[in-house]
Amino acid sequence: MTDRFIHDVPVRWSDMDAYGHVNNARFLTLYEEARVAMFFVGARKHGLGSFEEGIVVARHEIDYLRPVNYSEPVRVEIWISELRAAAFTVSYELFDAGVLASRAKSICVPYNLAEGHPRRLNQTERDFLAPYYSG
């Protein structure tokens, strides 16, 4: 079974729309916070700092399954559903009070910010991603 990186993300009052639900665009922020926790904080715990040097998002895809209200933090579960030489797909599920509220995917590309171009994943990065890879 594939491991999942799990991160609780607080819902802020500013995330709400006029209907009292988390605004659809703010879901990207909730997913981003969980992704940053995985690739910066989580990776650093494994001695990996290269993701902090540059990852860009090439694409997002979100399915909204139910509204999320202002409440306790939401739980975001992350795994890697596609792993290529120079890109990987991060898949997410967002749970509100234990109920699945949204699914999403982000295609991420390792990026050399200093030189301004994409780069390939190195072996240490691939090793970090391997337990989370469902392929």
Structure-token pair, residue 17: 């729309």
Q: Does domain 5-132 have CATH number 3.30.70.870?
A: no
Structural contact between residues 94 and 74, judged by C-beta atoms closer than 8 angstroms:
yes
Count CB atoms within 10 A of the CB of residue 23. 15
- Record the pTM: 0.93
Alpha-carbon gap, residue 116 to 114, rounded angstroms? 6
Which letter does DSSP use for residue 98 in this model?
T
In tens digits, what is the pLDDT along the chain, a chain of 135 residues?
689 999 999 988 888 888 888 888 899 999 999 999 999 999 999 898 898 889 999 999 999 999 998 889 999 999 999 999 999 999 999 999 999 999 999 999 999 999 999 999 999 999 999 999 997
